Structure 1
Amino acid sequence: MIDWKLAGTVARGVANLQPAGDPTPFEQLAGPAEEAERLVSAYTGLVPVKSVPVAEAVDRAGWIEANLTGLAAVLEPAAVRIAGNAGPLGTLAGGVVAIEAGAVSGFLAGRVLGQYEFPVLEPDAPARLLFVAPNLAHAAKGLEAADEQLLRWVALHEMTHALQFGGVPWLRPHLKEMLTELLGALEFNPRSLFRVPDVTDLKNLVERVREDGLATMMIGGDRRESLDRVQAFMAVLEGYAEHVMDAAGAAILDDLPGLRSSLGKRRRDRSGLLKLLDRLLGMDLKLRQYEQGKSFCDGVVARAGIEGLNRVWIGPEAMPTVAELSDPLGWLARTEPFRLDPAA
């Protein structure tokens, strides 16, 4: 249904338009990865059920291949279902989706520093721990950071994700369940590609994109609650990793406040065109997830320590809602009965 070869061609073309750096200083990952696992595990108490994946340095093409492989597993079944009633327009729609998927992947391939990658609909499939070397090199130059310092800091973030999913057995099945529900709610009529929208349509479209990004437009309005659960879940995952990379990095990084300030500036300091793309692709939503999630995690730890924050790993029922992300004290009160028994 979706032409993934076309998607790959588009992605590589878009990625090649973005500046890169010399990947060589970021290709030796064993030391930073081992250090990160030790520090993150010591701070959080998270211990993987089995060994975490070996850290891999990849170029942008390698990241694109991994990303599109994951997208194919998620989107292809839904695309086949949606195209069932599309008739001859199904092929055209598949081409449109391929171009869109390729453009998004190519855009991200020029920005992603590291990623804990796994097939989200296959909870038992192997994961990978990827570091995009040319992007790390370009970021180090832009942030005016020492290569070794930036790599160690990013390694803490990605290793936190590896220990989250490797040490909390219910996380991957729960993510699969939530995404499967959302995929079942996809709404797309290929014939709408040829319909000229009226003023009301355009106004509603602009409002939805402004609020949630383009990615939410294909989810039915009655599934907003499902979408909120996924977004809150992702905010916790990212916020926890952002909190840990600072907490665990404080003892090993020469200028952690400077790194944090520079990274925040890098995330926000975009040209007008790139800011527009960020909004259309929902990347500003991703930034809000980092910020809101980190604020929640910092707030919980300030009141109840890392042990209090680790209640999020008890089970899906302990995950904060979107509203609770702005109310750490309320979440702590709600989850008090869920506290882990130290003797267990």
Structure 2
Amino acid sequence: MSDLPFGFSNRDDDDARKRGEEPGGPDANNPFGSGGPGAGGFDPSQLGQMLSSLGQMISGMGQPGSAASGPVNYDIAKRLARQQLGASVTPLTSGATSAVTDAAHLAELWLDGATTLPAGATKTAAWTANDWIEETLPTWKRLCDPVAEQISGMWTAQLPEEAREFAGPMVGMLSQMGGLAFGSQLGQALGQLAKEVLTSTDIGLPLGPSGTAALLPAAISEFSAGLEQPESEILVFLAAREAAHQRLFGHVPWLRQQVLGAVEDYARGIKMDFSALEEAAQGIDPMALSDPSKLEEILSQGTFEPQNTPEQKQALERLETLLALIEGWVEVVVIEAVGDRLPGAGALAETLRRRRGTGGPAEQTFATLVGLELRPRKLREAGALWRRLTADAGMEARDGLWAHPDLLPDSDDLDSPAGFIDSVIGGGTNAFDDPLAQLAATEARERDEAERKRAASGEPDSDGPDLGKDSDKS
């Protein structure tokens, strides 16, 4: 295989194939052949034709401009996303907008008694799928640009020095091709997601404008059609979830940056499997890339799929844990707020949990593009931990853990929450800074547990029947 990125093929190899010979030889990896430019290798006279061919392809898929000059062509992404929606997007009615406003107002009232965090949304909006694409695109730019920039730099870094000096204009064309490639895949993902999302925070990321709680009535109606609960109750339940997310992101100052920054940090270590690029490029004449179907063929083979490094796997685990903690907290708070008021709240929560757990084609597409899955793996464990904290430590202690990222449980705590919960109950959040307090709390709980076991077994105990309930025990 040559060391050239996709779109290039070694001419000596091509000639060898035409003669029925095996490609290779001492100069197989030299794009200029053994005699330099023009000496039986790359013909400089073809450079203009190749640039022209690439220019025609780019013009055919989207006019280059300021929006297309970055690592991702967002004009293409937006156009493809809207094309997927087609004529299926119907305008919002005044009744749908009013229903969203009323549901959000009721949800906020109910949430006041379930969390210490005040309302975080300053605006409630009803969106169409097209609105979702438009309003969330700035956040998608922040998420996708670091990955695309990293991979775009790798493309040019793989060019031999002679090729970089000789084919300077080609490098710019390659960057534009990269922008088209990413724009194409992002557009496909956004178009599918726009059909599926129910709220602005439906996939766990703060995608919409800060302080805006948004619901998509048309998608909610379609989602409700297959459920037993009335659509009006489902709307209130989803409004409560959206409002809870907004409270968290609105009043935990570090959280939005922590979530989006985790994706950006993950992107800095992106690696590409260039052997896949080379394999995809074998036998493809650069002149043939004027046909967009060739580019789509390469994309469909997973050519641009990033490769995870060990450091990235650790970063991914941290991000998934944070997303699980957010979703688990929202689930617990919403059930506490609406559980007695909406009989089907528990079933709705389970439906949404499974929906997030299984994912769909849109999430799979985004995972291929960015290397991330948008669904937390330990959502059930996170929900169980927040419920136990609410029952054992109280609402204020539970919500107080969001004061600083170091106070939150980590992935190991989700698997074995007992020690973490003990540390919170033993001394509140300050116990994290006082190991002696943690030790004393742990010893006290061990004594209580031993006394409960003795009482359950019927053994006599000098402390009487109410062990573990004394005022001197924490």
Instruction: Report the alpha carbon displacement of residue 76 of structure 1 after superposing the two structures with TM.
Output: 2.3
Give, in whole Å, the separation in 1 of the partners of 2:309 and 2:354.
35
Q: Does 1:93 align with 2:178?
A: yes
Q: Does 1:14 align with 2:84?
A: yes
Corresponding residue SS for 1:114: coil
218 and 104 in structure 1: CA distance in 2 versus 1, 3 angstrom threshold? farther
The 8 Å contact of residues 21 and 136 in structure 1, kept in 2 or not, is answered as no
Percent identity of the aligned residues?
21
- Aligned partner of 2:340 in structure 1 is 251
Give, in whole Å, the separation in 1 of the partners of 2:206 and 2:91.
35
261 and 13 in structure 1: CA distance in 2 versus 1, 3 angstrom threshold? same
281 and 184 in structure 1: CA distance in 2 versus 1, 3 angstrom threshold? closer
Segment drifting more, 244-253 vs 76-85: 76-85
Give, in whole Å, the separation in 2 of the partners of 1:290 and 1:15.
31
Q: Does 1:145 align with 2:229?
A: yes
| Higher normalized contact order (CA 8 Å, seq sep 6+, divided by chain length) | 1
The 8 Å contact of residues 146 and 264 in structure 2, kept in 1 or not, is answered as no
Segment drifting more, 230-239 vs 143-152: 143-152
- Aligned partner of 1:310 in structure 2 is 399
Instruction: Report the alpha carbon displacement of residue 116 of structure 1 after superposing the two structures with TM.
Output: 4.2
Q: How many aligned positions are there? A: 314
- Aligned partner of 2:189 in structure 1 is 104
Instruction: Report the alpha carbon displacement of residue 220 of structure 1 after superposing the two structures with TM.
Output: 2.6
- Aligned partner of 2:96 in structure 1 is 26
Q: Does 1:294 align with 2:383?
A: yes
Matching residue within 68, 72, 75 for 2:137? 68
The 8 Å contact of residues 67 and 105 in structure 1, kept in 2 or not, is answered as no
Instruction: Report the alpha carbon displacement of residue 324 of structure 1 after superposing the two structures with TM.
Output: 1.4
Give, in whole Å, the separation in 1 of the partners of 2:348 and 2:237.
9
User: Structure 1 regions of 5+ residues with no counterpart?
Assistant: 198-213
- Aligned partner of 2:106 in structure 1 is 35
66 and 20 in structure 1: CA distance in 2 versus 1, 3 angstrom threshold? closer
The 8 Å contact of residues 356 and 375 in structure 2, kept in 1 or not, is answered as no
User: Structure 2 regions of 5+ residues with no counterpart?
Assistant: 1-70, 157-170, 282-302, 432-474
Give, in whole Å, the separation in 1 of the partners of 2:356 and 2:147.
32
Which string of whole-angstrom CA distances, capped at 9 and with x for unpartnered residues, describes residues 197-244 of structure 1?
A: 9xxxxxxxxxxxxxxxx9994443223222211111111111111112
Instruction: Report the alpha carbon displacement of residue 84 of structure 1 after superposing the two structures with TM.
Output: 3.3
190 and 133 in structure 1: CA distance in 2 versus 1, 3 angstrom threshold? farther
State TM-score, norm by structure 1. 0.77
Instruction: Report the alpha carbon displacement of residue 147 of structure 1 after superposing the two structures with TM.
Output: 2.1
State TM-score, norm by structure 2. 0.57
Q: Tell me which protein shows more helix as a share of its residues.
A: 1
177 and 85 in structure 1: CA distance in 2 versus 1, 3 angstrom threshold? closer
Corresponding residue SS for 1:86: helix
RMSD of the TM alignment (CA)? 3.6
The 8 Å contact of residues 323 and 376 in structure 2, kept in 1 or not, is answered as no
Which string of whole-angstrom CA distances, capped at 9 and with x for unpartnered residues, describes residues 262-292 of structure 1?
A: 5456667x8xxx8576556559861645434
- Aligned partner of 1:58 in structure 2 is 127
**Superposed counterparts of 1:1-344, under 5 Å:** 1-16=71-86, 24=93, 26-28=96-98, 29-47=100-118, 52-87=121-156, 88=171, 89-116=174-201, 126-188=210-272, 192-195=276-279, 217-263=306-352, 281=366, 286=375, 288-335=377-424, 336-337=426-427, 339=429
Instruction: Report the alpha carbon displacement of residue 135 of structure 1 after superposing the two structures with TM.
Output: 0.5
